[in-house]
A and B are shown apart, each in its own frame.
Chain A
Amino acid sequence: MGSNPSITSVCYKGAENRCMNESRDKDTFEQRLAAAQDKAGMTRPKANEAQSGAGAAQKAINLAMRLGVELVAAMVIAVVIGWGLDRLFHTKPWLMVLMVPVGMAAGLRNLVRATGSKTGNRED
């Protein structure tokens, strides 16, 4: 995508046909721009390389925070559902007891989903 704001801002300009021409020539323009930037030594280092150990630690902390909440949230929902059903059917505490392992399993499912490649960092 055109990550350079100055390219896309041409399209805001309002001149419709000019905008369309611009998007048709965009590929060649971006190639020329990249070549010119290379020649002028303006190419920035990749963001991944710039990311230091501190950034990685921050990411790990965020992931841990996220996973903790995921685990607990499923549990809370399961217990609340079990409690509500118990009140409805007057079967205190059995449905809630039944829902606790289901909630645990759902929490683990959340964890797998949050960390697994299938939905975590989607490349598909």
Chain B
Amino acid sequence: MAGPSIDALGQFRLSTGLGPLGAAINFTNSNEAMLASAAIIVVLFVLGLRSRAIVPGRLQALIELLYEFVRNMCVDTIGEEGLRFFPLVFTLFSFILLGNLLGLFPYFFAFTSHIAVTLSLALFVFAFSTGVGFYTHGFRFFKFFVPEGVPVWLLPLLVPIEIISYLSRPVSLSVRLFANMTAGHVMWEVFAGFMLLLTASFGIFGAFASIVPLGLNVALVALELLVAGLQAYVFAILTCLYLHDAVHMH
């Protein structure tokens, strides 16, 4: 078909950033977005906590809000010893949140829409929480896979189920974030491409009719903003849940 077509997945294509130097070391636009989100977090925190006022200003209030939100999440989910893991959870939360939010802007790259990124984050969380489990309980952590109070003859059936259930954690953790971000961006692209198709096929009437997909896209922005925050929250709280399991073993 001639004319414009909908290329919904083209937005996730990686290209090299930072000019010839970036091309030489395969520094992609995804890496650029990661660096940008990390830099924005650091700059925001340095600026916001510079004054350390008793009555916080806007930026400081925002940062304290974030801090207390994640801190309460840690303490409520893991328990008092959860504060040990607060830096990890807070780093993950702010990094993913900024990545999701940056990806919402036109011409920006949403690095959380790549399974390679989310799966590495999830595998790290998985390996870390397993390590915490073995560190706190030693080999008794294997009892995590043995459900309590079941007859012995059922164990050969139940232990593989528990192990697979445990192994599926990084998959569900990463797929959830990746699928939500990808789906949102694909929907945007589809509706936006539909506007071009309408205009190309029906001329001036199509241009008027494309107000409908435009309105849908505007509504989608609000939805995606919600999803961006929510998925960062879900990732952080599931990290807390896994750490809780590792620390308390039930």
Contacts and interface: CB of A to CB of B under 8 A. Distances in A.
B177 to A, nearest CB: 10
B164 A6 contact: no
Interface of B: 49, 52-56, 60-61, 64-65, 68, 71-72, 75, 77, 160-162, 164-165, 167-169, 171-172, 175-176, 179-180, 226, 230, 234, 241, 244-245, 250
Nearest to A1: B72
A6 B244 CA distance: 30
A14 B53 CA distance: 11
A76 interface: yes
Contact of A14 (B52, B60, B165, B250): B52
6 contacts: A9-B53, A10-B54, A65-B176, A69-B176, A109-B165, A118-B250
Interface of A: 1, 3, 5-6, 8-10, 12-14, 58, 62, 65-66, 69-70, 72-74, 76-78, 81, 99, 102-103, 105-107, 109-110, 113, 118-119, 122
A117 to B, nearest CB: 13
Contact of B230 (A62, A70, A119): A62
Given A1-B75, A66-B234, A69-B175, A76 B52 contact: no
Contacts of A102: 160-161, 164
